[in-house]
Amino acid sequence: MEKSSVNKNWMSLFKGQNPAVIAGPCSAETPEQVMQIAKDLPAEVKVFRAGIWKPRTRPGGFEGVGEIGLKWLQEVKRETGLLLAIEVATAKHVQLALEHNIDILWIGARTTVNPFAVQEIADALAGTDRVVLLKNPVNPDLSLWMGGLERLIKANIKNIGAIHRGFSTYEKTKYRNIPEWQIPIDLKTQMPDMPIFGDPSHITGNRDKVFEVAQQALDLSYDGLMIETHCNPEKAWSDAAQQVTPQQLTDIIQKLKVRNVTDDTADFLQQIQAYRIRIDDMDSKLLDLLEKRMSISDAIGNLKREKNVAVFQQERWKYILEKMRKEGTCLGLSEEFIAALYTTIHQESIYRQNKIINKK
């Protein structure tokens, strides 16, 4: 994709705020609720968000107030001057959002996973000057995320950006949606001009962890943050656990540290180059060790073929994973990292042994 196809000038909407912050409740509940939250937001916030239509995993939950909520947001804009942001999932949502002068539309993770739905929204927005943000799909799939952004670009939508809200996982972790930081890093590498916002509310699912993940996003040079904010989070109609109060949001913004992209001083450049040389050397040694490990795995594959033994040995895999998790924890490595690393190694071993055992 050509770099020139992405316009970053729309970030001027945030009037130089760094990081740019979009804040407001998970859901618009009443006209009084959205107005109170908007008025209580810290002055740094230039864009007010609120869910109007809420896609729920199962029926029966609160699915948003619908079109009437757009009238409430218009009143918020008239009284506070804040710009408005909402989620859209259908062409009808887009039409209503445009009719009610919504400034920023975002496409949610459940919609991003469906290229037909993204294309429908892109067609409805073709040529618009509105800002359109695309959340990552619920599953960790960089191509699907990039594909959605490319559909928006091909629809001649100039003002676009991405939102990293984490990825669903069946395993229980400390996060509601695991960050998988390498995926947004890869997105930034392949689309370097694409503005990217972090959504620590959905990544953590826990207001007490919002600051920590927000800072991690800034450490990776994200352009902005989307943080769910509610005057009375415990009584919120949706996602109560992950919303912060306006005062907590103020504290978070004040504590956040924006990092420099680089440091051009000779001392920094000399030291970081020395560290990088050491890392490059260790990486080469790691590859050498992995090659030797795979050679042993191949020998095991040949033995299994000779004795007609199945490739996958569940008890052995459980033993390795548990052993490495314990050893890794003692070395200061996270369980998530160890699990991801050894799962990848195990998958490669299984792949190689399968080729050996089925060789004709």
For residue 153 the two structure tokens come to 């670009």
> From first to last of its 360 residues, what are the pLDDT tens digits of the chain?
444 467 899 999 999 999 999 999 999 999 999 999 999 999 999 999 999 998 766 776 788 899 999 999 999 999 999 999 999 999 999 999 999 999 999 999 999 999 999 999 999 999 889 999 999 999 999 999 999 999 999 999 999 999 999 999 887 788 999 999 999 999 999 999 999 999 999 999 999 999 999 999 999 999 999 999 999 999 999 999 999 999 999 999 999 999 887 888 899 999 999 999 999 999 999 999 999 999 999 999 999 999 999 999 999 999 999 999 999 999 999 998 999 999 999 999 999 999 999 987
For residue 63 the two structure tokens come to 């699915």
Burial 260-278 (b: 16+ CB within 10 A, else e): eeeeeeeeeeeeeeeeeee
For residue 298 the two structure tokens come to 């191949």
Instruction: Please report which residue ranges of the chain form alpha helices under DSSP H.
Output: 31-40, 68-80, 91-99, 109-112, 115-124, 142-154, 182-190, 200-204, 210-219, 246-255, 266-307, 314-330, 335-357
- The per-residue pLDDT for 170 is 80
Closest CA to 134 of 88, 201, 193: 88
Backbone φ, ψ for residue 337 (5° rounding): -65, -45
pTM to 2 decimals? 0.82
Q: Which CATH number fits domain 3-255: 3.20.20.70, 3.40.50.2300, 3.30.450.20, 3.40.640.10?
A: 3.20.20.70
Tell me how far apart the alpha carbons of residues 24 and 133 are, in angstroms, rounded to a whole number. 16
For residue 11 the two structure tokens come to 């970030």
Structural domain boundaries of the chain? 3-255, 266-357
Could you write out the DSSP letters of every residue in 17-63? -SSEEEEE-SB---HHHHHHHHHHS-TT--EEE-BSS---SSTTS--
Domain 266-357 sits in CATH at 1.20.59.10
Tell me how far apart the alpha carbons of residues 146 and 167 are, in angstroms, rounded to a whole number. 15
